[in-house]
Amino acid sequence: MTGPKFLQRIARLPEVINVLAAYPQGLPLRTLAAQFDVDIDTMRQDLVSYLDLESWGWSFDIFHRPAIEFVQPDRDGTDDLTETSGSTVVRIVPDTSTGLGAEHLSAGDLSVLYTAGMALIDVEPHDTDLAEAIAVIAATMYGEPSAVPHAGDWNRHLRDLQTAQEQQLKVKIVYSRAWSEGVGERVIEPLRLVQTRRGWEVDAGPVGPEGNLRTFLLSNIRSLEVLAEGFLPPSHTAALLSKQRQTTTVRMMITQDARWAARLFAERMAVVEEDETSVKLDLHLLPPVGGRVAMIMLTSGTMTKVEPGALLPEALDTVENLLNHHQGGLA
């Protein structure tokens, strides 16, 4: 390893602690040093430095790091860290504290809690206890949060739609179309709210002439009014809702740094094969499939490739329509 010694030490410490974790009884200092191809004095300095560090947020625990101790052989009962033979045993101290019975959470656990909390704050924007809990988690992971968590403005209609769905009331919306030009007013019958990577969406009736529902992005709703008029859900609502979320699988090759585009427009994705620069994915896409393929093509860069098939012309039509829409001189 090259670079300043202190950087080498910092880079080595997490793996040293991981090795010690695998040996509850500890390892002689000389053995530990040999595993990392350093001398005994260097390993001792590594561990002394570790004792002075703050929490690292390793896989062990984001709240506290494992404590270590040096155990001397029972020759004379001394506790001398300068002992040079390397026979000193280093081990992680078992955590026997009971405290209040609380368990420490890993960074992964905290991330899951934070994500779930941020999703719930959209539904309960006035829940101050929830907002404070999210702020504590954010401060633990990232430092002091810049602001108290709040529901995004694009989800401001979520609560009204929930009420309308529960009470089976019709809703009048002004909506910016997602896959075609224009803004229109319509009356919908909210049947299900779904949170996706694109934000909240509502699957709604009335059932169209082709026997299907419609899906609307909450972020595209410009205004909303819950009407006093009620509605009766279709007798085959469950089948309609299932059909509304049926996907088509499309195989695409994109660069590794463009995965975000696939995540945004696909409901699910599975890795077929990958290397350091690119990844081949099976993307599960909702209709309009061609439109979603086109958006991935436009946002993921020139290296993107699509498996040949009937969807490509539809995708190219979408790209051409977008280009035509944005062409023209500025007034």
Query: Could you tell me the pTM of the whole model?
Result: 0.55
Rounded Cα–Cα distance for residues 120 and 316 (Å)? 38
Q: What is the pLDDT of residue 306?
A: 87
The dihedral sign for the CA sequence 109, 114, 119, 123: positive
CATH 1.10.3470 fits 248-325, yes or no: no
Do domains 154-244 and 248-325 share one topology? The answer is no
Given a contact cutoff of 8 angstroms between Cβ atoms, the answer to whether 231 and 170 are in contact is yes
Q: Which amino acid is at 256?
A: Q
Of 54, 82, 67, nearest to 26 by C-alpha is 67
Of 198, 195, 190, 270, nearest to 230 by C-alpha is 190
What number of CA atoms fall less than 13 Å from residue 131's CA on the CB side?
Answer: 12
Kindly list the strands in the beta sheet with 169-176, ordered across the sheet, starting from the edge strand earlier in the chain.
214-217, 199-205, 183-196, 169-176, 221-230
Q: What is the pLDDT of residue 72?
A: 78
Q: What is the pLDDT of residue 73?
A: 67
Rounded Cα–Cα distance for residues 43 and 34 (Å)? 9
What is the rounded end-to-end Cα distance, in angstroms, of the chain?
60
Q: Which residues of 85-103 are buried (b: 16+ CB within 10 A; e: fewer)?
A: ebebbbbbeeeeeeeeeee
Q: Domain 154-244: which topology?
A: SH3 type barrels. (2.30.30)
Q: Which residues of 183-219 are buried (b: 16+ CB within 10 A; e: fewer)?
A: eeeeebbbbbbeeeeebbbbbbbeeeeeeebbbbbbb
Other C-beta atoms lying within 10 Å of the C-beta of residue 62: 20
Given a contact cutoff of 8 angstroms between Cβ atoms, the answer to whether 297 and 312 are in contact is no
Per-residue pLDDT of the chain (331 residues; tens, 9 = 90+): 454 555 566 677 778 888 888 888 888 999 888 888 888 888 888 887 777 654 444 444 444 567 888 887 665 544 444 555 567 898 888 765 544 444 555 566 666 677 677 767 666 666 777 777 777 777 766 655 555 555 556 678 888 999 999 999 999 999 998 877 789 999 999 999 998 878 889 999 999 998 999 999 999 999 999 999 999 999 999 999 999 999 999 999 999 998 998 998 999 999 999 988 999 999 999 988 888 888 888 888 888 888 876 466 677 777 677 667 666 554 4
Spell out the domain ranges in the chain: 5-92, 107-151, 154-244, 248-325
Q: What is the pLDDT of residue 87?
A: 78
